[in-house]
Amino acid sequence: MSDRRILSIWFPSLGADRLIRREPQLGALPLGIVQDVHNTQVLTSLNPIARSHGLRVGQPVRDAHAMCEGLVTRTRSLPAEAGFLAALQRWAGKFSPWVAPEAEDGLVVDLTGCAHLFGGEAALLEVVQQDCNDLGLAVRMGLGDTRGAAWALARFAGQVAGSHRSGDAIDQEARATRSRAAKRRHWTKGGAAPVITLGPEETAHRIAAPGQMYSALGPLPIAALRLEPEIVAQLARLGLRRIGDLLGQPRASLARRFGRGLVMRMDQAMGSAPEPVSPAKPPEHFAVRLTLPEPIGLEADILAGIDRLLDRLCESLRAKGRGARRVRLQAFRSDHGIQQIEVGLARPAQEADRVKPLLALKLPEIDAGFGIDMLRLEAVQTEPVHARHMVGHLEAGEAVSRRLASNTALDDLIGRIGARVGLEAITRQHPAESHIPEKTAKTLAAAWSAPHEGGWPKPSNPRPLLIWQPEPVQAPDRPQMPEVFRWRGQTLTRVRVIGPERIAPEWWLDDPNWRSGVRDYWVTETADGQRLWLFYGHGGTMSSGWFCQGAFA
């Protein structure tokens, strides 16, 4: 039996509770947090008053206004919610040093060896509940031997499995089917699930005793296993609605029909598969802010504020021997909205003049609204910058220093283009060790790779300027180079040939492009001036024949 104890803390109304903490008057009104999803505004968080009107998370805003006339909506701010959750993560560190975020609205805490410091597990959860009440946060908790079990208890404790069919669906069935459905009484045989209402004290949290995962999770619906909605619906159609029903089924059949993900989630919940809580080491924080006495809205004013912030940010980076790879600028508006832009650099930078032009390129994306009253600049991704020590003659060291100092032109160009199209879209070629013609080069991201040093390796035989996927050539099926052949609807006559060059496939790989077997390559000049790269495939899993794969300049 495992001695691990995992606590899952879920904040079902994180977005609404955050706004109510900032604007207490919203607590007396039905409040909904709105986000655009697939060109539709939907609710992502609700306060208790809005829920009492029958509203639910994921509901379209137009339907919500029809059900609740006095609904107050606010636009969701993902950066603000992420910052609020990070603050809650620091608060949860009082219970255990092993704390990690869970999705966008929860925390997971490894309480192994920590609960006795608070008088036991029940007393610890009471402390968590009291702290959340003081903070004005709605909270649900679950405690078990595994991370999956704690997650399930926090979100589904007290719920029972229900039928996936509605009354309308049953009414549309044939008469005999409706007759059989009416005879079903017990929910485990396909009938409607009983409705159980639990009191506030019972739903506040759930504690599964050590080693009692089966009894604690068995009555819960299968959605508590963190499965995709499509799989949950398929299992419900088969009459598998509880976790206990699923655990008794053959594992091989479940994996074959629903994928290995279902079996993995079952093993994680029951403790057969590891799922550790691995909080990352707190990274070094490089951020500065500037509070303005009066709101600003002009680009020139924002650039002036960036000048002040960049000097302080670069100074802190140099003090730690770090360089910024990604920089984020946040503009806090007077109406409590947050606008942000983010830029990437091709090489770690500690100089303000390398970062400012990239931020200036994206400033038009910031909507100042009624004014900006605070600017915040953060280096969200940094890398170490190693100091270079020159050795040898003084003049030689100075020459090397000047060359290194002027070596940022290409990196700055990559950063400027990346600010427009994204750093991922800029690539460079490096030579690769392979005798396969199309594998002699590899594509790397330019921002995260260094240029190739030295010249490009010369092939043993000429290679065409353009290489494409092999295209069939109509010619006699024999290894000798034909006098006349057809390719791309043209009848071509060879004038001169060079070859053959025999290339064998990589026998340790099953490459679909090389199923034609061993190839004999020919450089062919035709009567109309074309210089083509043809080969004869001797046949493997595919039949033999002639193909064209490239053209010379």
pLDDT of residue 401: 60
Tell me: pLDDT of 7 over 90.
yes
pLDDT of residue 169: 46
Give CA–CA dist 448/326, Å, rounded: 12
H or E segment at 181? helix 175-183
Q: Please tell me which residue, 42 or 1, carries the higher pLDDT value.
A: 42
Own/partner pairs, 363-366, CB within 8 angstroms, 24+ separation: 363/299, 363/302, 363/303, 364/299, 365/339, 365/341, 366/302, 366/329, 366/331, 366/339, 366/340, 366/341
Tell me: pLDDT of 351 over 50.
yes
How crowded is residue 493: how many other Cβ atoms within 10 Å of its Cβ?
Answer: 11
Q: Above pLDDT 90, what percent of the chain?
A: 39
pLDDT digits (tens, 9 = 90+) for 83-139: 899 899 989 989 998 999 988 899 999 998 888 889 988 999 999 999 999 999 999
Mean per-residue pLDDT over the chain, rounded:
83
Tell me: pLDDT of 52 over 70.
yes
Secondary structure letter of residue 280 according to DSSP: P
Give CA–CA dist 13/46, Å, rounded: 6
Tell me: pLDDT of 333 over 90.
yes
pLDDT digits (tens, 9 = 90+) for 454-501: 788 888 888 898 988 899 999 999 989 999 999 999 999 999 999 899
pLDDT of residue 217: 87
- Average the pLDDT over 182-208 and give the result: 45
pLDDT of residue 247: 84
b/e per residue 140-149 (b: at least 16 CB within 10 A): bbbbbbbbbb
pLDDT digits (tens, 9 = 90+) for 54-76: 999 999 999 999 999 889 999 99
Q: State the greatest distance between any 2 C-alpha atoms of the chain, in Å, as a whole number.
A: 99
Tell me: pLDDT of 188 over 90.
no
- CB neighbour class for 124 (10 Å; exposed up to 12, middle 13-18, buried from 19): buried
Tell me: pLDDT of 540 over 90.
no
Give the model's confidence band at 181: pLDDT under 50 very low, under 70 low, under 90 confident, else very high.
very low
Tell me: pLDDT of 204 over 60.
no
Secondary structure letter of residue 450 according to DSSP: P
Tell me: pLDDT of 170 over 60.
no
Closest CA to 451 of 431, 421, 423: 431
Tell me: pLDDT of 194 over 70.
no
Give the model's confidence band at 186: pLDDT under 50 very low, under 70 low, under 90 confident, else very high.
very low
Backbone angles phi, psi at 346, to 5 degrees: -75, -20
pTM value? 0.54
Give the model's confidence band at 397: pLDDT under 50 very low, under 70 low, under 90 confident, else very high.
low
- Category of 434 on φ-ψ map: left (φ > 0), alpha (ψ -120 to 50) or beta: beta
Tell me: pLDDT of 534 over 90.
yes
Show the DSSP H helices in 321-408 as ranges. 352-362, 394-405
The strand pairing partners of 429, in sequence order, are 443
Give the model's confidence band at 289: pLDDT under 50 very low, under 70 low, under 90 confident, else very high.
very high
pLDDT of residue 455: 80
Tell me: pLDDT of 11 over 90.
yes
Give the model's confidence band at 245: pLDDT under 50 very low, under 70 low, under 90 confident, else very high.
confident
Q: Are 426 and 418 in contact (CB under 8 A)?
A: yes
C-alpha of 529 from chain center: 51
Please provide the size of the chain in residues.
553
Give CA–CA dist 436/105, Å, rounded: 50
Tell me: pLDDT of 180 over 70.
no
Q: Please tell me which residue, 551 or 245, carries the higher pLDDT value.
A: 551
